[in-house]
Structures are given as C-alpha cells and as structure tokens.
Amino acid sequence: MKQHIIAAVIINYALYLPAVVSVYNYLSNKELFDDLILQSKPLPIEFGYGILHIQFSILLACGILYGLFVLIRLDKNSQQGLLFYGLIGLVFCNFIFIHILSARTGLLGLYAGIAIFCISLLATMPFKTTRWLLLAIFVVPVLMVLFSSSLKNRIVNTYADLRVVVENKDANDYSFAMRVKAWQNAVSVIKEHPMLGVGLGDAELILFNNFQKVDHKLAPENRKNPHFQFLETAVQSGLICAFLFLLIAVLGCLKSNGRRNFVLIGFIALLYTASCFESILESQSNVIPFVFFIAIGLAFPPKGIETHH
C-alpha cells in the first residue's frame, strides 16, 4: 500500500494547490462571487492547469475518494508516519474546498462515490471502528450548508433552476434548465439517427440547428451540446456505441466477481454520475481521470477494503 499512499498524497496535493488559491480568490471577492453564483455562474479555478471548473471538480472528487480509500486500507504500522497525517490533512481540506467551490457535477459524483465508500465500511469493518468516520462524512456537508454562503447560494440557484424546468419557463441563463433543453435536443436527433448517429464531425452543427425545432427561443450562445456522455455518444455514433460506454461500468462491477472491489465500484459510481452532467470523454482533461482512476480501482487487491492486524 505504500505506493498508493504516495500516489494519493501527490494527487491530493496537486489538487489542493489550485483549490486553495481558488477558495482564497473567492473569499477575497466574496460578495461579487456569491451574487454570480445566484446567476448560475461558476467560481473560477485559479492556478488550475488550464482546466475548467467542472473538470476540476471531477478530478477533485476522484482525489478525495482515492484518499479516503487509501486511509482506510492502511495497516496500523503505516498510520504513524508523515504521509498518513499529511494525506488526512489534504483530503480534509479538499473535502471542504469542493463544497466551497460548489460545482454541482463534482459534488454529485463525489457523493455517489462516497455512498459506495460508506457501504464498503459497513460491509467489511465493524461499525464500532468506523462510526466516527461515517458520522463525519454526514456532519461535514451539513455544516458546509449552514456556514458556506457559496454552497447555500448554489442550492438556492439549483432550486430556481429546477422550477424553470418544471414550469417550462424560458431556460436562457439557467444552467441546469439549459442542460435539460440540450438533453431534449439530443434525444430528438437520436430518434432520427438511432443506429449510426450523425457522425463526429457533423454532430455539433446538427445539434445546433435542431434547437430550432426543440426550443427556438433559446439564444444561439446557449445552444449547447448535451453535456451527457451517453447522449453525446448516441448522437455521434449511435445507440450501440452509447451502450458500449455503459458496458464499461457493468464489466467493471463484474470484474469484482463477488470479491467486493469497492474501490473500483466507487470510482465507477463517481465517474458515471458525473457523466450524466458532463460529456467526460470529449476532452483530455476528462478522459485522463476516467481512465486513470478506473485503473487505480483495478490495481487495488480483490477484496477492496481489508483490515490488517
């Protein structure tokens, strides 16, 4: 496990640097950014290796989940060193930062992965041993909602967004409502080209023009691609290829073969949840965590989480 704790420290530290700078930038301009969040605007990622906020939030979620699994897997002899305590600090800080930065895609993916993490604790370790960690996982988000104005504003904005969707109001400048319109637009194109799709080169233009049928009131700058990997793949290459994308998740779970590889399943849950709100295979900054963290899950011993005596 030594190589895993070193890797987890390096990954979480690399993510910590842009996260802490971005949080500092937010706190330095708090009133302005809180108002922008209410307008469906993202918090900017500073010193973030050129990665956009959603991609960074997915990477941050993967790093946090990796750190949690590694910390639980370490034997007692490994829990005395600097790397162990450093990883605890980095994971805790990054867990706080992802809530302050409040990118919904990363948060949803993180909690999908954490759900598997909690199941793994209950399935493989005594509740008496893990109860404080489980309590912290539930208490910290509640505290963040109570004390983080950025997260509270994102929740308020999300509620307003959902009302626009439910009441079928003008979706312009509402982030989630525009996503729903993009999903509807993609489904409309898929119905016309279900088997082979429209091709990678033509997909963007065809999707843009098809908005005229789905919602002509949507401004040209808001006529986005689906931001949903299954739909994006189905538009480009047909439903067969889209289901092949989902097959990776099924094969990943079958890879466990009843041996409870919760690490692999946790990463699959995180990444596939994120793929419902972002086309995670359409850019290198998303392909890298998809391949890299699934590979990490495969690299863990078969039983996932074990205790050492």
70 and 206 both lie in a single domain: no
Q: How many Å apart are CA 144 and CA 77, to the nearest integer?
A: 33
Q: Do 61 and 123 sit in the same domain of this protein? A: yes
What is the number of structural domains in the chain? 2
pLDDT tens digits in sequence order for the chain, 309 residues long = 778 899 999 999 999 999 999 999 999 999 999 998 888 888 888 876 777 888 899 999 999 999 999 988 876 666 668 888 999 999 999 999 999 998 899 999 999 999 999 988 888 888 887 888 888 888 888 888 888 899 999 999 999 999 999 998 888 888 889 999 999 999 999 999 999 889 888 899 999 999 998 888 888 888 988 989 999 999 999 999 999 988 887 876 666 555 678 888 899 999 999 999 988 888 777 787 888 888 888 887 655 444 443
Residues 35 and 133 both lie in one domain: yes
Burial of 192: CB neighbours in 10 Å, binned 0-12, 13-18, 19+: exposed
pLDDT for 301: 64
Closest CA to 94 of 161, 142, 23: 23
Sequence-distant (6+) residues with CB within 8 A of 58 are: 105, 106, 109, 270, 271, 274, 278, 280, 286, 289
Same domain, 213 and 128: no
- Looking at the fold, whether 88 and 184 belong to one and the same domain comes out as no
Structural domain boundaries enclosing 73: 2-157
Q: What is the pLDDT of residue 308?
A: 41
DSSP-assigned letter for residue 257 = T
Residue 303 domain-assigned (yes or no) = no
Q: Does residue 141 share a domain with residue 105?
A: yes
Which one, of 223, 224, 242, lies nearest residue 281 by Cα? 242
Q: How far apart are CA 18 and CA 29, in angstroms?
A: 17
Whether residue 294 is contained in a domain is answered as: no
Residue 185 near residue 214 (C-beta atoms within 8 A): yes
Q: Which one of 237, 252, 285 terminates a domain?
A: 237
Query: Nearest to residue 204, comparing CAs of 300, 279, 113, 295?
Result: 279
| The last residue of a domain, from among 99, 131, 157 | 157
Q: Are residues 8 and 120 in the same domain?
A: yes
DSSP 8-state code for residue 215: -
